[in-house]
Structure 1
């Protein structure tokens, strides 16, 4: 049973994070290559703005804000699941190769398959899922040893190796491709938020609507998987089945997110760690906090990055790497 004071603390942090998200959203709506006056935001939202103001807000800013929020939430939960099923605080969908697996699949699909504009947006998460799934299964198999299961340090090292190899594969794929297609893949690798239109939100949203509640439903199983294998088996957990189901969930969330944002790393590492520090290691408590932290971190990184340099700014993936890489090194040395 969770103590009422802990639940109260969780709700307080959730309120604070919602306020931060709302504040960052308002700031993000006004800032950009074409700035909007903050005292004009409410009239624009009510349909009383000029054509230019409404175009900038509804066609450029709001879709991008929604995409970054949703993708950050998906990556945070994916990281929380991976850390839980591997009992490894260093696990992250970008670090262990899931993002790169999705990237290779998207590159092959984009470069060599005929693209129908109507279905392209909705096919991307599926293609990314298949690529990330293949990468995840290979990494899992190479890091698994009979009798002792998945080795945490081994998983991270193999994941980093796969990530680098798959990133190299993408460079080979684009080396002889058309310049405009090369530009798209290069932006994807840098973590540029490129899916900035309402259809991309519709493509991403169903994955989150299904998988986020499912993950919270499985929170108790994640708690048990954090225990030693004999203990988990002793309380009736079908370890391999639960790991497989949760691994597929983590892969789907990460793939859906990076299919429209590009290769974003470290959100899945940072958000769960911050959430655990705030409310403790119980998954039912910290996953809702991690969801909000992940969305806010990516929104903040993108808001800062796109306003640092004109006209395109700095990719959100680079901004998250600047924050996350030192923290990853700290965790690696600590563990």
Structure 2
């Protein structure tokens, strides 16, 4: 009996690998997609130069994702397929974490079928940061489901730091998870407060301070960016650099000029962007409503998801539909 179970697992893994290889072939060889402008920006600006890696002059710099690309470029060169393969491997990692959580090959096949018919699979073939965000969120929820004894909170806080530094838009889901760690884990409040400071606040502050300074310096448009010149200018104009860098990162025009949130406009935009996403969100809401009576979904997941939806009203900005590639 044990041998049969082991053999079934091996067959499942082989089938899963075969499916992923087929998807990779379909994305990169069967149907060739030209390079996107955002990909060019990701590669040429942020993934090939250590000096621009921590710039946050545009929201598209997903620093830790681009760090992987930067390392890859040093080892493998600047081939587009190499950069796009990084994204696909992250997608494969996301699928594997789902498998670890649910231990159901049928669930994985459903996931892959959904992916094939949605923009998710398209973005799995581009060198963009959405799939990286998806993987981190999947890992976060994987550890949340195993965090009844609070032993995974350190990891969760650290992953949340990675998410929020990578892209501010992740606040929509990061904040609900942070609230869960404190509100739903009251017994471990003191420990979580310590973890929050050490594994979230400190690294987030350090990295954002670095990015604020670098972004402020880049906006100053100095004629010479040698270390001596940059440090001298920073020493004499620190507050100007700090405020200009902060304004660029946290109040970028794409955020400031976004329309106020409207649920009808949001669903309309998602409908035209990708009907599968709209279907997924609708099913999720139905499950949450049904769960009020059945109570089959873990309370912590229910709490996070309701707060997640509430965040769209609280932030009160109309988000671009493509951000859902990172959430769902």
TM-score (norm 1): 0.28
Structure number with bigger Rg: 2
TM-score (norm 2): 0.28
Bigger relative contact order, structure 1 or 2, given CA contacts below 8 A and separation 6+?
1
